[in-house]
Structure 1
């Protein structure tokens, strides 16, 4: 366990600048917001007021607003993980010290496990803390200014967090596989591979008249943080109905596919990486 912890710390020290990108973004937004408030206060004086939406819609505004901002922060977290995964897998190759790294008295499964734990769970933990901080700040502010219910902000945070976690696992494991296959420019070559498959599918559909769904379209559906939900059962759906249907949206085949693909990508990536020629 001590050895595993040391591996995680080493990976963190190497890639923390990339993984901390969501924190820098959030800090920048708060810095600009505070600067705007100060300037507005100086120009408008103590009588400056804030106009909020009508009270009947304030909970919906808080719920949807929290989801939107948390989703944006989640996209940044996923993007940071995509950038970091190439460095984790191919960093030693680019520095021409793979043989030195693999000569250490540490098993390869433990090394790879430490990398992915930091990549997925570390990124997710940072995201949840940052998004919770923002949710509480905005939720408490809305509560005091318009009596909005903090409950809906917390529900939005939890639901978006679940969506980000599933998408982060799926996307990071896919580019984990790409980085194991391609030692250089794994991100672009991975996207190029998807494009090549999509073109092949399109040609088959046109020439053989096969009904094959779009690969890119389905991948975008899987990457989507917010699950597809239907409000058809409700004549006049309330906000509580929306929250409930959002939770039910995670109980779908798309979630199963994401988890299964994550496992397959990880295992395939490890198998390929373990058989690469060291330099």
Structure 2
């Protein structure tokens, strides 16, 4: 067998009768089971030790990253407060408010990074979330330039971890704005509108959040994918040479953590369909 040989013998001819042979076979089977169990236990112990080492490394990495991110973020927040005292123009103050919102969101993401490393989970308690409200909040923290958002009816809700859902939508919106338009976007905007009264700039992409019979979708009317849509949600895959390839991969991970299925469609733009019924 896999564990070697257990010798049993005698110098006397025909020493082992049929009963003794049967008992020897039973003994061999029991020893095999015991050795298999010991081997599996050792493998599980090694696997648990390796997993714990990975968790420890991840937690250490998350702590270092959060520390390195908080330092420049604190500087930026201080400069922002100083800037508030030097201007009184309403539009400029609105822009500063959006910057403050982005700072707050960065703080939340840093906290989530630490929580993910320490708790080893990607979703928390699921609650009923208005998709329109979640999309509006996510849109506010994305550099949307001249893009337009079409929101669903407020009655459309999904059972989700609110923060993970927000992160999912932020990554989808960022992808649409950065890859959906033929124009390069360097400005910022906050053009949230309902579908009934949306108007998009001729060169701006329109992002639509809507209902499916068993879930919801996020779609844009941009140029679509330059790569295979099935590969777009893999870590490290991006049509932009300077991109990280993390955005849509994070979307896929969050959807999977909720038990949703994700279909990516490349037709008249990019469309992401989430089936939430498992």
Tell me if TM exceeds 0.5. no
Superposition TM-score, scaled by structure 1 size: 0.23
Normalized per residue, the structure richer in helix is 1
Normalized per residue, the structure richer in strand is 2
- Rg larger in structure: 2
Superposition TM-score, scaled by structure 2 size: 0.23
